[in-house]
Amino acid sequence: MVRLYNDDSLNLHTDLYQINMAKTYWQDGIHERKAVFEVFFRKLPFDNGYAIFAGLERITEYLRDFRFSKEDIQYLRNELGYEEEFLQYLSDLRFTGTVRAMHEGEIVFGNEPMIQVEAPLAQAQIVETALLNIVNFQTLIATKASRIKHVVGDETVMEFGSRRAHELDAAIWGTRAAFIGGFDATSNVRAGKRFGIPVSGTHAHAMVQAYRDDYTAFKKYAESHRDCVFLVDTYDTLKSGVPSAIKVAKEFGNKINFIGIRLDSGDMAFLSKAARKMLDKAGFPNAKIVASSDLDEYTILHLKSQGAKIDVWGVGTKLITAYDQPALGAVYKMVSIEDENGNMQDTIKISSNAHKVTTPGLKNVYRIINMETNKSEGDYIAMRDEDVQSQKELKMFHPVHTYISKVVTHFEARNLLHDIFVNGEFVYKLPSLHEIQGYSRESLAFLWEEYKRSLNPHEYPVDLSQKCWDNKIKNIEEVKQHVKSLSE
């Protein structure tokens, strides 16, 4: 088949300015200098108390495949006019850097690196766009899913969003992220095939319309399927939908597995309670009630507070489009760069907003677990040469309001960043998606409930070590001096 679009590589999935900067570095001969960038966001999405890091698997694939194809080079030559020598450099380019990152599914907070890229400057620059693109979306959806799952609790929640997602990629990768965040199943069959996510589904109003009435439609479905969930709200939920479902379930008996019914409109608290009574009375106390229709964590919480008898939740649009916050603002900031003598020098980005000043240098991130409570005291960012675990007492203080502090003893300092690539070599063992979901659940168990509630959660501490803080202040002073000297 002749394809309209030959989407042969992801290397051009970058902003033009990255390639232009790479060209400047290359022409100036500094493209091979080592640079360290960190991926982090400043503000948690949805005013949540935590986020769930997702996207690492796709990033590893992107970096392993990192090469400009012949067609890419041709495009850069013919349409963008780059010169031959630079194009030759680009066509030989492979990712040779070191990447450290959190495990996928890790609980993550503002202002701490989820990923560190330590690579030749030009390479580190070119990969920024794709890395942020992947992490921002997948982390956002995994976090939204986690908020929803937190409200749903032990009941089942299914992902129904593909039809409303922002195109095909978002549906597929959003579904994967939703599973990481705790969703149990998806309606998207391709996501099931590709990622091994359990696939599940009922039927649409169209089928009832096609057969003109509930009873005939359910009967025809029962004749062709063993597992049956009947959608009961096409015409009249309580007068026609539920009675027809019960009638078919009785008629077919053991020939089908009558799982239950689905409600998709109306007052779902009222209808679910009424339907429950009808199902129980008819001898189907185990039949489940599935609900869908513009659900999110808020509606689900409301429905539960009204005593709705809903066992399974189907959530689409508001999850997959991150309806109430359409983007996560993760950024990619340079923290260190090699100088002309081969020494690494810290770099900092200053802002008039204290929260926006970056934290320079080569750092580690630790989760400080209190060994007595087995709960997390906060995250602790230290310089790489610090030995955090061997300290008897750890002073943790707020990175902006430094007078807010506490001393922690009897702790385990868990290093959150793991080697993914070392000098271009892929050294990480990718976990399965089920393992990632399990890991995320375990990570959440270290958080006190105060950080997990969906409304006004406590602010989780992400603190700097004294050394890291001193280094930041020193860098700020140096930059100020430098700027002053230039203006004199």
Ligand X SMILES: O=P(O)(O)OC[C@H]1O[C@H](OP(=O)(O)OP(=O)(O)O)[C@H](O)[C@@H]1O
Ligand Y SMILES: O=C(O)c1cccnc1
Ligand Z SMILES: Nc1ncnc2c1ncn2[C@@H]1O[C@H](COP(=O)(O)OP(=O)(O)OP(=O)(O)O)[C@@H](O)[C@H]1O
d(CA 242, CA 250): 12
**The entry of ligand Z, ligand Y, ligand X, none that residue 317 binds, CB within 5 to 8 Å by partner kind:** ligand X
Tell me how far apart the alpha carbons of residues 57 and 51 are, in angstroms, rounded to a whole number: 17
CA 171 – CA 192 distance, rounded (Å): 12
Q: Are 181 and 52 in contact (CB under 8 A)?
A: yes
Q: Does 314 bind ligand Y (CB under 6 A)?
A: yes
Residue 97 CA to residue 66 CA, distance in Å, equals 11
Q: Which residue type is seen at 184?
A: D
- Phi-psi bin for 389: left (phi > 0), alpha (psi -120 to 50), beta? alpha
Q: Does the footprint of ligand Y cover residue 378 (CB under 6 A)?
A: no
43 contributes a contact to ligand X by CB under 6 A? no
CB of 265 to ligand X, least distance (A): 8
First to last CA, the chain: 66
Nearer to ligand Y, 174 or 378 (CB): 174
158 forms part of the interface with ligand Z (CB under 6 A): no
Q: Which of 71, 236, 294, 449 binds ligand Z (CB under 6 A)?
A: 294
Name the helix (H) or strand (E) containing 208.
helix 205-211
Kindly tell me which of 314 and 461 has the beta carbon lying closer to ligand Y: 314
**DSSP-derived 3-state class of residue 38:** strand
Strands 156-159 and 312-315: parallel
Helix, strand, coil share of the chain (percent; to 5): 40, 20, 40
Structure letter (DSSP) for residue 452: T
Q: Does 67 bind ligand X (CB under 6 A)?
A: no
Burial of 58 (0-12, 13-18, 19+ CB in 10 A): buried
Per rule CB under 6 A, is residue 293 in the interface with ligand Z?
A: yes
Torsion-angle region of 377 (φ positive above 0: left; ψ -120 to 50: alpha; else: beta): alpha
187 binds, among ligand Z, ligand Y, ligand X, none (CB under 5 to 8 A by kind): ligand Y
Partner from ligand Z, ligand Y, ligand X, none contacting 209, C-beta within 5 to 8 A by type: none
Query: Under the criterion CB under 6 A, does residue 466 sit at the interface with ligand X?
Result: no
Minimum Å gap between C-beta 185 and ligand X is 14
163 binds ligand X (CB under 6 A): yes
Positions 265 through 304 that interact with ligand Y (CB under 6 A): 292
**Residue choice 112, 214, 264, 379 for contact with ligand X (CB under 6 A):** 264
Return d(Cα 424, Cα 131) in angstroms, integer.
16
Find the part of the chain contacting ligand Z (CB under 6 A) among 52-60, 100-108, 168-176, 295-303.
295-303
Q: Which is nearer to ligand Z, 302 or 458 (CB)?
A: 302
What does 164 bind: ligand X, ligand Y, ligand Z, none (CB cut-off 5 to 8 Å by kind)? Answer: ligand X
If one asks whether residue 299 binds ligand Z (CB under 6 A), the answer comes out as yes
269 contacts ligand Z (rule: CB under 6 A): yes
Judged by CB under 6 A, which of 277, 302, 356, 375 binds ligand Z? 302
CB of 218 to ligand Z, least distance (A): 20
Binding marks (x or -) toward ligand Y, 175..214, rule CB under 6 A?
A: ------------x-------------xx------------
Which position among 24, 209, 265, 481 is part of the footprint of ligand Z (CB under 6 A)? 265
Q: What is the C-alpha to C-alpha distance for residues 249 and 94, in angstroms, rounded to an integer?
A: 60
Q: Is 364 in contact with 389 (CB distance < 8 Å)?
A: no
Closest distance to ligand Y from the beta carbon of 204 (Å): 7
Going residue by residue from 180 to 209, which x/- string records binding to ligand X, judged by CB under 6 A?
------------------------xxx---
Pick 113 or 161: Cβ nearer ligand X? 161
Q: What is the rounded distance in angstroms from the CA atom of residue 178 to the CA atom of residue 143?
A: 8
Q: Which is nearer to ligand Y, 111 or 187 (CB)?
A: 187
Contact between 160 and ligand Y (CB under 6 A)? yes
295 binds ligand X (CB under 6 A): yes
How does 158-197 read in b/e, with b if 16+ C-beta sit within 10 Å? bbbbbeebeeeebbbbbbbbbbbbbbbbbbbeebbeebeb
Angle between helices 84-92 and 16-28 (to 10 degrees): 100
> Choosing among ligand X, ligand Z, ligand Y, none, which partner's interface includes residue 267 (Cβ < 5 to 8 Å by kind)?
ligand Z
What's the rounded Cα separation, in Å, for the pair 144 and 280?
34
Which residues inside 306-325 make contact with ligand Z, applying CB under 6 A?
Answer: 306
Q: Which residues bind ligand X (CB under 6 A)?
A: 160, 163-164, 204-206, 264, 292-295, 314-318
Q: Which residues bind ligand Z (CB under 6 A)?
A: 265-269, 293-295, 299, 302-303, 306
Q: Which residues bind ligand Y (CB under 6 A)?
A: 160, 187, 201-202, 262, 292, 314, 316
